[in-house]
Amino acid sequence: NPEVREALAEVVRFWMSRGVDGFRLDTANYYAYDRQLRDNPKRPAGSHPLEDGQEANPLSGYITKYSKDRPENIEFIHFLRKIFDEKANFTSIGEIGSSEGLEETLKLGADYVRHGDGLHMAYTFAMLSKEMNAEYFGHVVGFTEQMIEDGWPCWSLSNHDCTRMVTRFNCFAEREGFQQMMLLLLLSLRGTPIIYYGEEVDMEEYPITKEELRDPQGIRFWPDIKGRDGCRLPFPWDSAAPNQGFNTGKKPWLPAKNSLSLDQAQAYPESSYHVIKEMLKIRKANPALQKGKFRQILLEGDCFVFERKTKDQTLLIAANFSTENHSIKLPLKVEKDLTPGALKHSGSIKNERLSLPACGYFLGKV
């Protein structure tokens, strides 16, 4: 409807005039639907949507070809982009949630950002899967780079719609440190990283009870789907304060019950808080981590190695997704170790071999 488009254009221009520098577009591939209102086809037996934990949702039993991912949807995004371009240094980021296979989802996300006439950035749910190993990670990154062409990638490991990363990837016991490795990889990839609040203090998924539910999805489908409240708890600022410092006195909307608070993370030198803080400084100081091209170097067992390269700088990044130590013969000579000093599970170079501990990470200057 052209009148709706113009009304939305007025809203966008209003906020741009008020100094807004960008928009996040929720469910950015859901805006258009089939004009004939045809029913979505049922999903073939044995297939499932990319999003985990939604099997009990009736919508997951259908391929949503008529209710989202419509060709005219991208045309509307192009319409919005022309408005965004009226202001200098403006940006946009879209959530692209697809119910289809992995490669279809990655291609769809790339379609929204290629050629500079769509969104500035878009992230998919590919990294929000329960599955995470070197092969899967490498395929997601490599296929995205192949599909996105001149577009700019965007990466996220958690958000307000999925089980928190620490719990989803089972980052406990022998997998302790896996979440730090993933966060460092997030900050090493080409593109814009999104860090979900609480990841700097290893917030876990809270086992919500039926009485504590707020999310309509959880209320409707309990107990098959427990909703998204478990990943939306108040941020834990202070371990000694009521409600972990989130508010004073009154009970918050959801319980404040995280196992670790910010003050405790700040007091522990090897916490994710300090690892991320140090890595952000490293990222800002090294142009290859900001603008360098991505190239996969090797996938050996459950170890993944890649480089980020500009004209003047080459960096090598390696990660061990397994719970066992590994030693790798590197094809490139590393001149300097840039791995964050706060990282407990860090790799090391000796005799041109890289030793990676379980859930380990390494960053070096070539």
Residues assigned a catalytic role: 26, 86
In 3D space, the residue among 357, 283, 353 whose CA is nearest the CA of residue 326 turns out to be 357
E strand map for the chain = 22-25, 91-95, 121-123, 154-156, 192-194, 293-300, 303-309, 314-320, 326-329, 336-337, 348-350, 353-356, 361-365
Partners of 299 in the β-ladder: 304
Q: What is the amino acid identity at position 119? A: L
Q: Is the dihedral of CA 328, 334, 337, 339 positive or negative?
A: negative
174: DSSP letter: G
From the number of C-beta atoms within 10 Å of its C-beta (0-12, 13-18, 19+), residue 72 rates as: exposed
Dihedral (C-alpha) 235, 202, 225, 137: value to the nearest 10 degrees?
A: 130
